[in-house]
Amino acid sequence: MTSNAHLPFGDQRSAPFYGSDILSVKQFDQQSLDYTFGVAHEMREMVSRVGSFDLLKGKILANLFYEPSTRTSSSFLAAMERLGGSVIAINEVHYSSVSKGESLPDTIRSLECYADVVVLRHPEVGASAMAAEYATKPLINAGDGVGEHPTQALLDLFTIREELGGVDGLTVTMVGDLKYGRTVHSLARLLTNYDVSINYVSPDILRMPTEVTEEVAAKGVSQSEHDALDSVLGDTDVLYVTRVQKERFDDLDAYESVRGAYTVTPETMDKAKERMIVMHPLPRVGEIDPAVDTDARAAYFRQMEYGLYVRMALLAMVLGKA
149 binds ligand NCD (CB under 6 A): yes
Q: Which of 282, 288, 308, 314 binds ligand NCD (CB under 6 A)?
A: 282
Interface with ligand NCD includes 223 (CB under 6 A)? Answer: no
Q: Backbone phi, then psi, for 89, in 5-degree steps? A: -100, 115
Q: Does 145 bind ligand NCD (CB under 6 A)?
A: no
* Amino acid (1-letter code) at residue 255: Y
Residues 194 and 167: beta-carbon distance below 8 Å: yes
- The Cβ of residue 267 has, within 10 Å, a number of other Cβ atoms equal to 11
Instruction: Report the candidate in 183, 184, 222, 179 with the shortest Cα–Cα distance to residue 202.
Output: 179
Which residue, 245 or 263, has its beta carbon nearer to ligand NCD? 245
Kindly state whether residue 202 participates in binding ligand NCD, applying the rule CB under 6 A: no
122 lies in the binding site for ligand NCD (CB under 6 A):
no
Tell me the per-residue interface mask from 231 to 260 with ligand NCD, x by CB under 6 A, - otherwise: ------------x-x---------------
Instruction: Kindly tell me which residue out of 72, 107, 193, 199 binds ligand NCD, with binding defined by CB under 6 A.
Output: 72
Q: Distances from the Cα of 157 to the Cαs of 71, 144, 161, 219, in angstroms?
A: 17, 20, 6, 18
* 143 counts as binding ligand NCD under rule CB under 6 A: yes
**Least CB distance from residue 290 to ligand NCD, whole Å?**
17
Distance of closest approach, residue 195 Cβ to ligand NCD, in angstroms = 27
- CA distance to 78, 122, 260, 262, per residue, from 284 (Å): 22, 21, 12, 12
Window 41 to 60, contacts with ligand NCD (CB under 6 A):
none
Closest CA relative to residue 50, chosen from 82, 92, 90: 82
CB of 140 to ligand NCD, least distance (A): 13
163-182: which residues touch ligand NCD (CB under 6 A)? Answer: 182
Of 159, 183, 193, 268, the one binding ligand NCD by CB under 6 A: 183
CA 65 to each of CA 7, 123, 153: distance values in angstroms, whole numbers, following the listed order: 34, 9, 18
Would you say the C-alpha torsion 21, 24, 28, 33 has a positive or negative sign? positive
What residues contact 305, with CB distance under 8 A and at least 6 apart?
Answer: none
CB of 182 to ligand NCD, least distance (A): 5
Under the rule (CB under 6 A), what is the footprint of ligand NCD? 71-72, 143, 149, 152, 182-183, 243, 245, 281-282
